[in-house]
Structure 1
Amino acid sequence: MRLARPVVAAALLLPALSGCGGASAWLAGESAMSTADMPPSEAGMPLVGRRQWHGDVSRAQSTAFLVARTEAEWKALWDLVGKDPPGALPDKLMALGVFIGTRTSTGYGVDIQNIRLDSRPGQRDRLLVEYREKSPPEQLMVAQMLTSPYAIILVDQTDAPVRYAKLPDEPRRP
């Protein structure tokens, strides 16, 4: 299937790009980099997994998973964040959003760890989005306030159904 190669590329790029151009930069007023702003060596590369946003505060009060394939869905996704979209939804891309709901302190977060095509005999292919919730370390002093973390990523558009899977917590380090 044509989608497999870009999805694998997204899975390989995610760990290296998780800190690039995140929500804090966007919320601080920095605009997201477009392909026109990229160095010539990167301008021809696919955007899969390249654009990702994270944040500590959204309007989501409970866990929610969103797929935005249209401009209206893109705007609805960013409405749940509580901000205007950072631009139009790029052609041939879709957005995947993970909102983990209200938490009672700072230090929580969510990361999209892997995106892959899930193929099973006799079933329609699905896009599997694996994510991990982060909790504050036990010894870390945190502010007692309501937060609602989220993560959004752009991937190649597909009409395959999307399934989300929470990965187990990573062992805490002393």
Structure 2
Amino acid sequence: MILRRIQRKWCHSRQANHSAINGQRFVAVKDARSWNELWTEHTKNIQPAPTAPAIDFNKTMVLGVFLGDRPNTCYKVTIETIEKEVDKRLLVKYREAKTGSVCGQAITQPSHLISLQATELAVEFLALQ
């Protein structure tokens, strides 16, 4: 297996501590309809609802990691690297981290969304330790 790291030149990157998506989910969004549905679900607890970032799905796709509920504000998730296995798949490596020693006592739903050059390759997600 030959993996080639894709440079960290993503069109957009958005990390959040709150999402209306309460369960763990990994997404590869390749069309506008799916993107608008995901964004609506992700932001449904925010009033007024923010407009989804504009994505040109002829050139771009969105990858996302949603961790689901976490017990406090010290948790976050970061998509760290994306590697391409030639003509087979994209391997998205992400890390969940608990930072800080003083944490707000609120349930959070850490997430990280990025956009990058579109591909038809299968997408797999791998948690880093």
Q: Which range, TM-score by smaller chain?
A: 0.7 to 0.9
Task: State which of 52, 57, 67 in structure 2 corresponds to 1:100.
Answer: 67
Q: Residues 133-172 of structure 1 correspond to what in structure 2 (within 5 A)?
A: 133-137=96-100, 140-168=101-129
User: Is the radius of gyration larger for structure 1 or structure 2?
Assistant: 1
Secondary structure at the counterpart of residue 80 of structure 2: strand
Tell whether the 8 Å contact from 1:75 to 1:84 is kept in structure 2 after alignment: no
Give the aligned residue type for 2:112: A
Tell whether the 8 Å contact from 1:77 to 1:97 is kept in structure 2 after alignment: no
Instruction: Specify which structure has the higher proportion of helix.
Output: 1
* Runs of 4+ residues over 6 Å off in structure 1: none
The 1-side partners of 2:96 and 2:84 are apart by 22
Give the superposition deviation at 1:49.
1.2
Give the superposition deviation at 1:80.
3.2
Task: State which of 5, 8, 11 in structure 1 corresponds to 2:6.
Answer: 8
> What's the TM-score once normalised by structure 2's chain length?
0.84
The 2-side partners of 1:136 and 1:8 are apart by 27
> What's the TM-score once normalised by structure 1's chain length?
0.63
Secondary structure at the counterpart of residue 116 of structure 2: strand
Tell whether the 8 Å contact from 1:67 to 1:73 is kept in structure 2 after alignment: no
Unpaired runs of 5+ in structure 1? 14-47, 169-174
The 2-side partners of 1:126 and 1:74 are apart by 21
- Please, what is the CA RMSD of the aligned residues? 1.9
Correspondence 1:126 to 2:89: yes
